A and B are shown apart, each in its own frame.
Chain A
Amino acid sequence: MRNPAGWAALTAFSLVFFAFIYAPLFVIIGYSFNSNPVNMMIWEHFTFDWYTGLLGLSNRATDVSNRAAYVESTDQMLAALRTSLTVAVITTTISTVIGTATAIALARYRFRLRGIYNGFLMLPMMMPDIVLGIGLLIFFVSIGMKLSMLTIIIGHCTFLTSYVFIIVQARIAGLDPALEEASADLGASEWVTLRKVLLPQLAPGILGGALLAFVISMDDLVITYFVSGTGDTTLPVFIFGMIRRGVKPEINAIATLIILASVVIAAFGLWLRSRKAD
C-alpha cells in the first residue's frame, strides 16, 4: 500500500477485528478463576475451586447449593466427556475409512456416475445440520431404532465422511500417478498398488482428514442433540443443556479446558501441515 495513513488505519481495524475474535475467549478463561459463585461477572478473588469441582474434589460444593445434585451433575459431565471421546474415536475411524476409499475411487477410476458422486458428496456438508438431525431422528424412530450412542455415531459419520473425502481428494490431486502406473507395469496387482504405493503417499492427507473429523465430531451439537436419547449425551449437548438451565461457574472451567484442548489440537494440525510441506 502506497499510503501510510491508510495502512495504519487498516492495521488498527484488523487488530480490533482479532481482539473481537479473541476477547470472548479470554473473558471465559479469566472468569473461570473467579471465586464469586453468585454473580460470576463480579470479581471476588482468584480460585481453582471450579476446576477441582469438576473432579468432584472441591469442598465449595457444600456452599453452592445442594451437594448431592452438584456431585451428580459433575458425574454427568464426566460421563458426557467420555461419550464424546468414544463417539469421536469411533466416528473418526469409520468416516476416515469410508471417505478415503471414496476419494481413491473417484480420483483413480473413470466411471459413469463419477460426476454425480462428486456433487453428491458435497451435500452432507452443505445441508443445514438441523435438517439432517431431524431427518435421522424421524428415520430412527420410524424403523424402531432406540436412540443411543450408536445413533449418535451414525449421525456423525453421515457428514464427517464428506469432510475426510475432501481432504484426501485434495491430497490425491497433488500426487504423481506415474508411480502407480510403474507399480502396475512391474506386475503388482491393483490391491498391492493401492496398499503399497498409493496409501503411503496419502498418509498425511488421511491423518489431516481424520484430525478434522475428530475435531468436528467432538464439537457437533445439533445432530447429536436430535439423535441422542435420554441416556448418552456428548459434552457439547451437555453444556448446551447446562446453559439452558442457567449458568453455573463450573461451565467456565470446563469451557476453559475445551479452549485449551482446541489450541493444542490446532497447533498439532499446523505442525502436521508444515511437515507435509517439507
Chain B
Amino acid sequence: MALRRQSVVLAVLLAPVTLFLGVFFLLPLLIIALFSFLSPGLYGGVEWTFYHWNYGRIFGWADGVNEIFEPIYLKILIRSLGFAALTVVLTLILCYPVAFWVSRLSERWRLLFLFLITLPFFCSLIVRLYAWLLILKPTGLLNTILLRAGLVSAPLEILYTPTAVVLGMVYVMVPFMFLPLYVSVDTLDRAQVEASQDLGANRVQTFLKVILPQTLPGIAGGSVIVFIPAVGNFVVPDVLGGAKGLMIGNLVEQQFLSARNWPFGSALSMIIMAVVLAVLMLSVSRARRAGGHA
C-alpha cells in the first residue's frame, strides 16, 4: 500500500515534465531530424519523399540534378567552428588571470568583483551587443576617439567584419568562462603551489605541473559552456557581422525566414546539433576519466 502510494506521488511529480518536454522539446528535435531527410516543397513546406541531397548539398555529394554542391556551406560551417574555438581561446586568456586575481582578494573585494562579473548575465544580451554597434560604427565612439587623437587618418572598418563578430562573442561569453574557471582556481591547493616553489621549480614549471592540471576541470567546463552557444550563434553575427562574418546559425535563419527551404534548414540544424552532442559527449567522457583517476 505504502509502495503504491509512493509511486502515485512520483507519477504526479514527474508527469508534467515528461509530457511537456516530451511534446515540446523531444518531438520538435525529432521533427527536425525527419525534415532534414525530406525534399523541399515548391513553395515552402515539404514533400514526403526521402531525400538525402540536403546533406549532399552541404558535404559535396549533390549530383547537380537534385541539388548543387555549394562549397560555401562547408566553408561557413568551418568558419563557425573556427569562430567558436577562437572565442573559447580568447575568453580563456582573458578570464584565467582575472579569476586568479579575484581569488586572491580579501573577502569584501572578492564578493564585489564576483558580483560585477555576474551582473552582465542579468543584462539583456541584445543591449550589450547594441553597445558594440555604437562603439564600432564608422562614425562610432572608437573611430571618433582615434580620429580626434590623430591615431588614424580614416575611420577603421571593424563593424561588419569577422573581427567584430569574434569581439562580440567574446564579450557576451566572458561570464560563462569566468565562473567555472573561478571555481577551480579558488579551490586550488595553495600548499602544493608553495611546495613546488620551495622545491626549486621555476614559475613556468609550477604553472605547467601544478596549477594547470588542477584547474583543468574548470578550463574544460568553461570551454564547453562557451563553445556550444558560440557555434550555433546567430544574433552576434547578425548584429555585428557582415557577409564575411556569416555563421551557420545565420544560414539556418535564412532558410526558415526568407528562403523557405525547411528541409535544408533542418539539415543545417542537424549539423549544429551533431557538433553540440559531440562536444558534450567528449566533455562527459573526459570528466569520467578524470573522476576515475582522482
A residues with CB within 8 A of B: 1-2, 10-11, 13-14, 17-18, 20-22, 24-25, 27-28, 31, 39-42, 97-99, 101-102, 104-105, 109, 111, 117, 120-121, 123-124, 126-132, 134-139, 142, 154-155, 157-158, 161, 165, 189-191, 194, 215, 218-219, 221-222, 226, 236, 239-240, 243-244, 247, 251, 255, 258-259, 262-263, 265-266, 269-270
Contact = CB atoms under 8 A, between A and B. Distances in A.
B201 interface: no
Contacts of B144: 41-42
B126 A10 contact: no
Interface of B: 5-6, 9-10, 12-14, 16-17, 20-21, 24-25, 27-29, 31-32, 35, 94-95, 97-98, 100-102, 104, 113, 115-128, 130-135, 137, 139-141, 144, 171, 174, 197, 228-229, 231-235, 238-239, 249, 252-253, 256, 262, 265-266, 269, 272-273, 276, 280
A132 B134 CA distance: 30
A130 B269 contact: yes
Which 8 A-B residue pairs are closest in the complex by CB-CB distance?
A128-B232, A135-B28, A24-B131, A105-B13, A262-B123, A262-B122, A266-B122, A14-B101
A154 B98 contact: no
A228 B115 CA distance: 33
16 contacts: A24-B131, A98-B20, A101-B16, A101-B17, A120-B21, A128-B276, A134-B265, A135-B269, A138-B262, A158-B20, A191-B9, A222-B235, A236-B125, A240-B235, A247-B130, A269-B122
B266 A259 contact: no
A243 B135 CA distance: 14
Contacts of A99: 17
A224 to B, nearest CB: 11
B174 to A, nearest CB: 7
A27 B139 CA distance: 14
Given A21-B116, A42-B144, A126-B280, A190 B5 contact: yes
A240 B24 CA distance: 25
A104 B13 contact: yes
Nearest to A236: B126
Contact of A18 (B21, B116, B128): B116
